[in-house]
Amino acid sequence: MTRNSTIDEVTFVTILWVCQTISFFFVAIRLALQYHVDRKWHTSDIMILVAWLFSLGNGITWSAVYKQMYQVISLAKNSTIDFSEVPANIGWMQRRYLNGQLSAYLISFTGLWLIKLSFVFFFRQLGNRYRAQQILWWVVLVLVIGCYGGTLGCLDYKCEMSSLEYSIEVCATAGAMHSQQVRLRVATTLDILSDAAIIILSGNVMWRARVNLTRKLALIGVSFLTAFIIIIALLRLFLSVSDMSIIDPIWLGFWNALEICVGELTPLKRRLL
């Protein structure tokens, strides 16, 4: 797979909804088990549920605008444009696609960070007898929230809500594309930084708290899942930038959805712990 390859429309939408369906069953199992054990849901459980609803909104948004996205991107990739083949409503298509893309980014990032916060609040009840763990928990919480704000700040709102003329004159320039790459790298760094902080938090619990082997294995599983999410973030960065240094929104949307899906595959951790 080369960096400038992409996925077709059917595959894009199919994978979105397959991930959504799989994550639904995992979230449903988690919530059912949690209620069976404690007869209530904890903060981390509510966050996972809300995160799934955001991921559902992400899937609906992309499903509503993916046709316009593929049409606009297809025209943009052509070195020579036959204006007789350009749709008369290209301006509307472009605005609809960009507005939908911005909405999907905001929804997916919010859902992803709710998953991160669910991990953070999950670890709040573990090892809270130790002052060092309490301090670390607050540090990680502030860091994760700060990374969320920084990630939203990396979005190029002007170009995402621009007209066709502004996109051609400003957003398609070499300087603008370089700025988009920098924004993507910064956002990915913040994503990885927040995940690394969660791994450190879980590692500190394993180190300080006296837990049995089953619980330690569960904590290790959570850490490995978070590490896998980091790998997905790196793949998103690598595959979302084409050989022409142009960010591919198809890959970006795909990997965002996949990252959320993987983060939601945690139905048994409360039961094990």
237-255 pLDDT per residue, tens = 776 665 445 677 888 888 8
| pLDDT score for 143 | 96
Total domain count for the chain?
Answer: 1
H or E element that contains 80: none
| pLDDT score for 212 | 62
Classify residue 197: in a domain, yes or no. yes
Mean pLDDT estimate for the chain? 80
Classify residue 221: in a domain, yes or no. yes
Mean pLDDT for 100-129 is: 86
Q: Domain of 29? A: 9-265
Classify residue 69: in a domain, yes or no. yes
Classify residue 3: in a domain, yes or no. no
Mean pLDDT for 12-33 is: 90
Q: Give 126's contacts (C-beta < 8 A, 6+ positions apart).
A: 133, 205, 209, 211, 219, 273
Name residue 195's beta-bridge partners: none
* Structure token digits, residue 237: 């960065």
Classify residue 273: in a domain, yes or no. no
Tell the residue number behind the tokens 């290790």, with chain if given: 220
Classify residue 2: in a domain, yes or no. no
Classify residue 193: in a domain, yes or no. yes
Classify residue 145: in a domain, yes or no. yes
| pLDDT score for 117 | 93
| pLDDT score for 172 | 75
For residues 65 and 267, give the distance between their C-alpha atoms in angstroms, rounded to a whole number.
31
**Cβ atoms < 10 Å from Cβ of 169:** 12
Predicted model pTM: 0.83
Q: Pick the range with the lowest mean pLDDT from 20-24, 35-39, 174-178, 232-236.
A: 232-236
The proportion of the chain whose per-residue pLDDT surpasses 70, expressed as a percent, equals 78
